Structure 1
Amino acid sequence: MNTLKNPLLSLSIGLIFLFTLVVFLATEASYEGIERASLWVRNYFGHFYLYLGLACVLLLLGIAFSPLGKIRLGKKGTRPEHSLWAWTAMLYSAGMGAGILLRAVQEPVFMQQHPPYLSDLPPETLALEFTFYQWGFTAWAFYGLFAMVVGYALFVRKKKVRVSATIEDTIKNPMARTGIDVMTIITTVFGLIAAVGLGTTQINGGLNHIFQSQFGLTTTLSLTFLVSAIAFYSAWQGVDKGIKVISKLNILVTMAILLFVFFASDIGAILRSFATATGHYLIDFVPMSLAWGDYDPGIAFLTDWTFYYWAFWLAWAPFTGIFIARISKGRTLRQLLLGVLVLPSLGTFFWFSVFGTSSFDIIDSWGSYSGEFGNVFSSIFVFFENYPMASLLNFTTLFLLISFLVTSVDSAVFVLSMFSDHGKKSPGKRHRLIWSVFILLATMAMILLGHAKPDIDVLTAVQKLLIVTSLPFALFMVVMAGVFLAEVVKRP
């Protein structure tokens, strides 16, 4: 395979390599530039992100319950390729994964200790409600919009697996379409670097907490290599033999941990918290989504939390949405949209209810709180110290962190390979190898840079870069949704 004959592949890799080189040679200047750009985006487009998120949720619900919801992704009578259980496991592993372990305890406790706004609700209920808001319908609506549009283009209109295929009948310029695909690839790669960096850092934090040691750079690099190697094998095997198997394992282990904590805690309190916070979330969803009136946490809080989350979900939407589209053949738009919006959201709400409510109870039993759950990388391991079989829970969590990272990377490698291999639904294995190796090297380079320049938090810079790169997607999503609606409305 000659990459020179594949301009999308060579251009994408060349640009990412160039960016990495510039960051290495001018680290301080690059960091400051990224910082200024991310603040500019959040200051001027932060509320646009909020409006876009609400619009996506309402649009998907409207389509799901309209006659358009009957449109099937495939020929009439086509049955879903994957069972509901396997489908849910794969979309959840790709779309959330290690993030729910990273924030399981730290975020609800932070929201309880620092309420986002004044409210008549108890701090614990408000904390869960706001956590639900940041992990619920809006995140999955961003994913669902891409999944719907790409799935329609792929299985109904028989287009190639590329984001540009969704608008190619409207935007005829080939350079513009190539630019859209390059932008998608670059954002996906940096999103993966941030995710793997965060995940391996949490694994390192867990190892240091368990063994009371100081594992450093060598361990982080080894973990990165391990995750990338397993992800490559999974992507090499394909959806059915690799990605699906690991995704199912992830969900089973996650459910085992969840149920253990649930039954070892105050079951009644958890169920009441889940029901109450979910009810308030549904009632308050619109004003929260608009940061309207009493529901406005202020620009500082929104910038640190909601704007960042929305930008992160947007940055992950292309590859996650395309992966969901790829595994959704045979489902109707109604099944796809309601499944994507409701099933993972409710699962996430229950997850945070279990860990959040249990954390609140632990803090109450202590009588005071001194930031024990404040470290995002070690909070869940500190939490497990308050339960029987803490060592088993901690080691199981470490395993799950690695496994979730694998499913995020392998699904991204598969989608990137579909892009670079001319939009094929089953891309060549050489493309999977190229992207696996390149993601490994790019992640290692960023980790090494972080240690070479201790005064610069490179991982934070990459995350802030996602806020910048997600802006074009936020604007593009408006165009993409408009083109899609115009097509389906005219559909006979």
Structure 2
Amino acid sequence: MTDHVDTSIEEAPDAIETEYHIGQDNITPFGLDIHNPVFMISSISIVAFVILTLMFQDSASEFFVWLRDFLTQNFDWFFLSAGNIFVLFCIVLMVSPLGKIRLGGPDAKPDYTYMGWFAMLFAAGMGIGLMFFGVSEPISHFNSSLGGTALEGGARTDWAPLGAAAGDAAAARDLGMAATIYHWALHPWAIYAVVALSLAFFSFNRGLPLTLRSSFYPLLGERVWGWWGHIIDTVAVFATLFGLATSLGFGTQQALAGMNYLFGWSTGDFAKVLLIAVITAIALISVLRGLDGGVKLLSEVNIAMAALLLIFVMIIGPTGDIFSAIISGGVAYAREIIPLSMPFGREDTNFSQGWTSFYWAWWISWSPFVGMFIARVSRGRTVREFIFCVIIIPTIVCILWMGVFGGTAISQVVANASAAVKDAPLELKLFEMLRPLPLATFTSFLGIILVLVFFITSSDSGSLVIDTITAGGKTSAPVAQRVFWCTFEGVVAAVLLLVGGATALTALQAMAVSTGFPFTIVLLTMCVSLYLGLRETRKSPGA
């Protein structure tokens, strides 16, 4: 094989995959199957980052926070523009003839039912985020310059007017709901869909390894098996593990805050490490049970519990206000999505820089993890079916979820300006919203369980993804390797919480977000590569 760029890859997959797997320098200590360059570089980099962060906590925190702020403030237009491109790209694929292409070939059958498939992709995508932000973000926007404009009768500068008058709480709620849904609906799921569809297509339809480098074969040719590919996969591992460790650390703090709120349990260092150990141990059990007996089972259980909590709040809470928030919030989102998405000429810099560009960088930094996991469980779906289920259905669910939980909290604030949910810390807003409702102790405890199980499924699926990348795209690497990564995630989170505390986590979070900038470029390039691959398949007989 020669070193050239060739977008015609119809006859190449089998030969490429054979040469790729045979030609790699794999080492197998302790029963591992390691794709050596990616595994060693990513492992050493992660260990070095942890050590340096703990040795120079203040300096590291200042640098990474500065880097995060620099990127979100100076490149907010870039993040917003890229987010719009991803949404439009997915919509074009869905409605075009390319949407008929089936992942895995014309005769491929889905590996999972719709319910099992959707439960896994949703739990991996942002289930834990909805638990944390489902109450806190609508309240934040309702009380901020967005909703506050309507409450105070101020003029809106760069949004289409909603006709809000002074003291119009309904308009303030709709603005807050529209802004919240914008951050959790079409745009973030389009980011995930681009990565997931690229990985699934080049793996299932082209026979290439299930790893990010494979998505660039139409552009890079055989160079994806060299250092270009090593760099892409190593950064993906770095972003994935640190994103998971950061979320595990913050989630532990939220769960402990809820347990302290309900039962007066300690929130000290020992409690943090103990809870992380318990979560990691359960995730390890899930790893040992495999994809179907582990992630799939836990995801379905979690979705059922989340649905139970949602239905309970919808019925027991202010039902009229909830349905009003769902409907009018969804309508406001549809009406305001274009002004919200405008990358240039904005005056609401706090929203576009402090919220949107931060969110887009965060979603993009998570896209290797979530995208690869979604790809892994999506064989047998058509491109059109895939995009609809990965983008449209989660958008509907997000509107419903935010309307129920955010709408209930806003209703409580409107009815009682001194409601505890208004001023509660972010990690306690969900519990403060549930407190006035019947069975508050039970529903709050259910909320804690949901948080923990969402983290367990994320840890397990994240271990699966990192294992696949570091094994060179192999999906059948030894279980011991995934156990290693699952354990490593817990150790990193525990060490940073125990030794570095909030300072280390702040630096870690900033570093995870900072990976979103280079990955935005990667994803934009991935769109071009995916289009070239789909076009070639569409031209071939039987596609």
TM-score scaled by length of structure 2: 0.86
| Structure 2 CA distance for aligned equivalents of residues 274 and 371 of structure 1 | 20
Q: Is the 8 A contact 2:137 2:180 kept in 1?
A: yes
Residue of structure 2 in register with 1:146 after alignment: 195
Q: 1:173-203: CA deviations, max 9, x gaps?
A: 3011101100000000110011101111100
Tell me the alpha carbon deviations over residues 282-316 of structure 1, each in whole angstroms, 9 at most, x when there is no partner. 232122111566xx462233222111111111011
Secondary structure (helix, strand or coil) at the match of 1:73 reads coil
Most deviating of 359-368 and 325-334: 359-368
Separation of aligned partners in 1, 2:445 and 2:55: 39
1:274 shift after superposition? 1.1
- Partner of residue 41 from structure 1, selected from 62, 71, 83: 71
Within-5 A mapping of 1:229-240:
229-240=281-292
Q: Which moved more, 1:117-126 or 1:131-140?
A: 117-126
Which 10-residue stretch deviates more, 345-354 or 296-305? 296-305
Counterpart residue identity of residue 70, structure 1: K
Letter in 1 for 2:392: V
Deviation at 1:45, TM superposition (A): 1.8
- 2:435 is aligned, of 362, 369, 385, to 385
The answer to whether the Cα contact below 8 Å between 1:97 and 1:408 also exists between their aligned partners in 2 is no
Query: How many percent of aligned residue pairs carry the same amino acid?
Result: 27
In 2, Cα distance between the equivalents of 1:315 and 1:106?
Answer: 22
Distance change >3 Å, CA 261–CA 370, structure 1 → 2: closer
Does the CA contact (< 8 Å) of 1:63 and 1:334 recur in 2?
A: yes
Number of the residue aligned with 1:26: 56
Residue of structure 2 equivalent to 1:482:
528
Most deviating of 305-314 and 458-467: 458-467
1:182-221 aligned within 5 A = 182-221=234-273
CA distances 1:322-359 after superposition (whole Å, capped 9, x unpaired): 11011000000001001111111111111110111111
CA distance in 1, matches of 2:106, 2:417: 62
**Kept in 2: contact 1:106–1:373 (CA 8 A):** no
In structure 2, the partner of 1:429 is 479
- Determine whether 1:63 maps to 2:120: no
Q: What's the CA shift string for 1:123-154, capped at 9, x where partnerless?
A: 01111111000111101000000011111001
SS in 1 for 2:219: coil
Q: Distance in 2 between matches of 1:441 and 1:365?
A: 45
CA-to-aligned-CA distance 1:373-398 (integer Å, 9 cap, x gap): 44111111111111111110111111
Q: Note if contact 2:218-2:532 (Cα within 8 Å) is conserved in structure 1.
A: no
**Gapped runs of 5+ residues in structure 2?**
1-27, 150-155, 165-170
User: Which of 316, 329, 342 pairs up with 1:277?
Assistant: 329
CA distance in 2, matches of 1:219, 1:370: 26
- Residue segments in structure 1 that go unaligned for 5+ positions in a row: none
Correspondence 1:325 to 2:390: no
Write out aligned runs for 1:30-429 (5 A).
Answer: 30-116=60-146, 118=156, 119-120=161-162, 121=164, 122-171=171-220, 172-173=222-223, 174-291=226-343, 296=346, 298-369=348-419, 372-429=422-479
Q: Partners of 2:353 and 2:424 in 1: how far apart?
A: 19
SS of structure 1 residue aligned to 2:145 = coil
Q: How far does residue 57 in structure 1 lie from its aligned partner after superposition?
A: 0.5
- Please give the alpha-carbon distance, in whole angstroms, between the structure 2 residues aligned to 1:7 and 1:149: 23
Residues of 2 paired with 1:89 and 1:155: CA distance? 21
**Cα distance in 1 for residues equivalent to 2:374 and 2:312:** 29
CA distance in 1, matches of 2:103, 2:351: 40
| Matched positions, count | 486
- When residues 443 and 468 of structure 1 are mapped into structure 2, their CA distance, relative to the original with a 3 A threshold, is same
Which residue, out of 516, 526, 536, partners 1:470?
Answer: 516
**Alpha-carbon contact 1:94-1:407 (below 8 Å) kept:** yes
Structure 1 residue 440, shift from structure 2 partner: 1.5
1:5 CA drift (Å): 7.0
Partner in structure 1 of residue 23 of structure 2: none
Matched, 1:445 2:495: yes
Taking structure 1 as the reference length, the TM-score comes to 0.95
- Which amino acid is the alignment partner of residue 465 of structure 2? V
3-state SS, counterpart of residue 422 of structure 1: coil
2:427 partner SS: coil
Amino acid at match of 2:528: G
Task: Point out the structure with max Rg over C-alpha.
Answer: 2
Q: What is the one-letter code of the residue matched to 2:249?
A: G
Distance 1:256 1:297 in 2: 41
Superposed displacement of residue 215, structure 1: 2.4
1:6-29: CA deviations, max 9, x gaps? 221121111100111111111122
